[in-house]
Amino acid sequence: MADKNGFCKYLAKIFKEQCKRINVKYESVDFQEDGWYHKYQWTKEQENSFKEWLMNFLYTNDKARRELMTCSDKNKEACQQAANWFILDYSWKIEDLTVGDVEKNISDIAKFGREPNIG
């Protein structure tokens, strides 16, 4: 069943956690608005912590993996790939972003190849 934003239970949980990390109420974010993820920011450390949480959430939650990922096998690499793509697509702006950070993100994603189907 979808919530008011049209998200399934597991995707809503992910976005709620993302909002919680920067003290923003999930209900106050208009996820239908273009560029909603550029309205807020977090540090690279917050992003990395969230990415780790997301990878673990997907790895330990069979139902979430089946609903959100193309490859629903319990595989740490696939869950890491999905977390990397989620960050690429939906991360808040980074307060202290450097060229090295961007290059590392591109490198991390390139290791895994094609984009997974998440969300």
The tokens describing 85, both together, are: 């793509």
> What local confidence, expressed as pLDDT, does residue 108 receive?
67
Confidence (pLDDT) at 6: 84
Handedness of CA 9, 7, 39, 97 (dihedral sign): positive
What pLDDT was estimated at residue 59?
A: 96
- Could you give the CA distance from residue 92 to residue 85 in angstroms, rounded to a whole number? 13
pLDDT tens for residues 37-72? 999 999 999 999 999 999 999 999 999 999 999 888
For the entire predicted model, the pTM comes to 0.79
Q: Please state the φ and ψ torsions of residue 117, each to the nearest 5 degrees.
A: -90, 100
Give alpha helix (H) positions in the chain. 9-20, 44-60, 62-68, 76-90, 99-112
pLDDT digits (tens, 9 = 90+) for 63-104: 999 999 988 889 999 999 999 999 999 999 998 766 676 676
Burial 62-98 (b: 16+ CB within 10 A, else e): eebbeebbeeeeeeeebbbbbbbbbbeebbbebeeee
Cα 87 to its chain centre, rounded Å, is 4
Q: What is the mean pLDDT of residues 11-16?
A: 96
